[in-house]
Amino acid sequence: MAGSYTEPKLHARRVLLLGGQQTGKSSAGNTILGKQVFPAEEVTSESSECRGEVLGCVVTVVDTPGLGLGRGDGETGGSPAQESVDPWNLSSGALLCSPGPHVILLVLSLSKPLTENHRKSLETYLEGLGRGVWRFTIVLFTGADAFKDGECLESHIIEGGKPLQHLVEKCGNRYHSLDNTRPSERTQVKELLLKVEEVVEQNQGWFLEVNSSCGLLSQYRTRNSQMWNVAVEADRSVMESWNLQEIPMYISPPRELRMILLGWKGAGKSMAGNTILGFQGFDVGKQTEFSLRRQSQVSGRRVTVVDTPGWDWWSLKQTPKQVKREAYRAGELLHPGPHALLLVLPIVSSLTARKRNVLEDHMEKIFGGQWFQYTLVLFTGGDWLRCQGYSIEEHIHKAGKELVKLLETCGNYYHVLDSQSLDGHRQVPELLNKIEEIITHNTTDPYLYVEVNDDSVDLTETSECATCNLL
């Protein structure tokens, strides 16, 4: 009918806040919703929920009482998971998220160290919610206002020790931080919701079906089946009143791609990084001394690039230990590890057997024997190739057998960048597509895991590594 208008539906997301006592769950809920709805100054004694429209999405946030995590490591007189909290807390929180949460935010305070006993307690609580709970969980750090200049969340995870690293890895290395002292800073909330959408997409739109035996939930459903049905129907009616729909709030949520630029001095790594990012994030006017990280949204993906100091082209021994340490540190900056190692080669340079061996020696020494599974050869100077009228395949054929050997070692993953064109045009999206092919090929290990402080490279000396310069 002419002139008719149907109001577009908003998108609904249900978020369950869980964590230990005094971790800032209530404040986090207030920050997400952009209003003071949960009493942050009081001890939360029972689960409560509140809805609000957040950045074009109707979000239901459920706050829960702090979980009893028992005593820390080295303390005596109690079990690791003391039941100081009624298990109804988990059940009632899950009920308020009926029919189930899309995401669980496991809240940790940056100011409180996570012990091994605490980790085990948290895992016990969460696994009681149901199978596959970790696929729906994001670690949410509170207290980001305590970060000093130059500090970043990844550094905290690395320095937090194995219990924290294990927990973050258990959650699929999904994590975020909030500064609850700046609730008006909505960028941090937007980034969190993007990560929530990634979880929803990875789970194909499903929510967590809470274990029917969780705590008192089964008793509640059995003895109060009518009330349970009323709760579910109430949730549906609220969705109708808000005009909601259960579909992702972004048609194509950004995906995260982590990569390291590696290669000789003067290979054009910094300029290649700028081309990938679409802005001047790396200084091309001077020699790179320390590993430097930059981040940008590129073609619907969240792309993180680390530039590294160049290697010596003569031999592995000629490359200073500091440079090798910085290359390894680049992997630490992309915790838990990079999806791709971009081995940068100037298109105009010739590759001899010695040079190829030097490149492979560097890669194996720094990243281990499986480096080639994650490596893409990135040719710089694509403008020269264009001027010569050659295709990259013709250049490879003319360049000789050593280049062919290197490419075969790397699974024939290669790409050409014309760094004279900062906007990237089609070349950058095509590069990202190839990196995603590598991820698909490495389906069981989609990224190269980097062991923190691995002995394979001397990391004992300190450096002024610009570890956390995110843009």
Work out the pLDDT band at 305, boundaries 50, 70, 90. very high
Beta partners for 296? 303
* Mean local confidence (pLDDT), 262-272: 91
Question: DSSP 3-state assignment of 182?
Answer: coil
> Which of 50-54, 153-157, 397-401 shows the lowest per-residue confidence on average (mean pLDDT)?
153-157
- Tell whether the torsion through CA atoms of 365, 367, 372 and 378 is positive or negative: negative
Work out the pLDDT band at 470, boundaries 50, 70, 90. very low
Question: DSSP 3-state assignment of 244?
Answer: strand
Nearest to 330 by CA among 141, 139, 468: 468
Res 442: pLDDT: 84
Please tell me the distance from the alpha carbon of residue 113 to that of residue 24, in angstroms, as a whole number. 14
Res 468: pLDDT: 33
Work out the pLDDT band at 260, boundaries 50, 70, 90. very high
Work out the pLDDT band at 444, boundaries 50, 70, 90. low
With b meaning 16 or more CB within 10 Å and e meaning fewer, what string describes 46-82?
ebbbbbeebeebbbbbbbbbbbbbbbeeeeeeeebbe
Work out the pLDDT band at 462, boundaries 50, 70, 90. very low
Angle at 206 between CA 203 and CA 212, to 5 degrees: 115
Tell me which CATH code domain 10-245 carries. Answer: 3.40.50.300
Asked if the model's pLDDT at residue 132 lies above 50, the reply is yes
Please tell me the distance from the alpha carbon of residue 79 to that of residue 121, in angstroms, as a whole number. 10
Please tell me the distance from the alpha carbon of residue 265 to that of residue 312, in angstroms, as a whole number. 7
Res 282: pLDDT: 92
Beta partners for 377? 343, 414
End-to-end Cα spacing for the chain: 49
Res 207: pLDDT: 82
Question: Is pLDDT larger for residue 132 or for residue 58?
Answer: 58
For 143: left if phi > 0, alpha if psi spans -120 to 50, otherwise beta; the answer is: left
Residue 467 in contact with residue 159, Cβ under 8 Å?
A: no
| Count of residues in the chain | 471
Strand duo 57-63 + 48-54: pairing: antiparallel
Q: What DSSP assignment string belongs to 300-359?
A: TEEEEEEE-PPBPSS-TTTS-HHHHHHHHHHHHHTTT--SEEEEEEETTS---HHHHHHH
Residue 38 in contact with residue 51, Cβ under 8 Å?
A: no
Res 240: pLDDT: 53
Please give the C-alpha separations between residue 189 and each of 59, 126, 178, 196, in angstroms, as whole numbers.
12, 24, 8, 10
Res 149: pLDDT: 63
Q: What is the pTM of this model?
A: 0.50
Residue 13 in contact with residue 59, Cβ under 8 Å?
A: yes
Question: DSSP 3-state assignment of 264?
Answer: strand
Topology (CATH) of 255-441: Rossmann fold (3.40.50)
| Phi–psi pair at 337, nearest 5 degrees | 160, 160
Question: Is pLDDT larger for residue 9 or for residue 162?
Answer: 162
Give the position of tokens 């791609």.
257
Asked, colleague to colleague, whether 10-245 and 255-441 share their fold, the answer is yes
Residue 344 in contact with residue 261, Cβ under 8 Å?
A: yes
The percent of residues above 70 in pLDDT, for the chain, comes to 76
Angle at 33 between CA 27 and CA 39, to 5 degrees: 35
Please tell me the distance from the alpha carbon of residue 342 to that of residue 389, in angstroms, as a whole number. 25
The predicted-structure confidence for 214-248, as pLDDT tens digits, reads as follows 543 444 444 444 544 554 555 555 445 544 444 33
Please tell me the distance from the alpha carbon of residue 406 to that of residue 378, in angstroms, as a whole number. 12
User: How many CB atoms are closer than 10 A to CB 267?
Assistant: 23
Work out the pLDDT band at 399, boundaries 50, 70, 90. confident
The predicted-structure confidence for 283-297, as pLDDT tens digits, reads as follows 887 888 899 999 888
Question: DSSP 3-state assignment of 228?
Answer: helix
- For the record, the structure tokens of 157 come out as 């995870």
Say if residue 144 is exposed, middle or buried (CB neighbours under 10 Å; 0-12, 13-18, 19+): buried
Res 129: pLDDT: 82
Q: Show me where the domains of the chain are located.
A: 10-245, 255-441
Res 114: pLDDT: 92
Question: DSSP 3-state assignment of 273?
Answer: helix
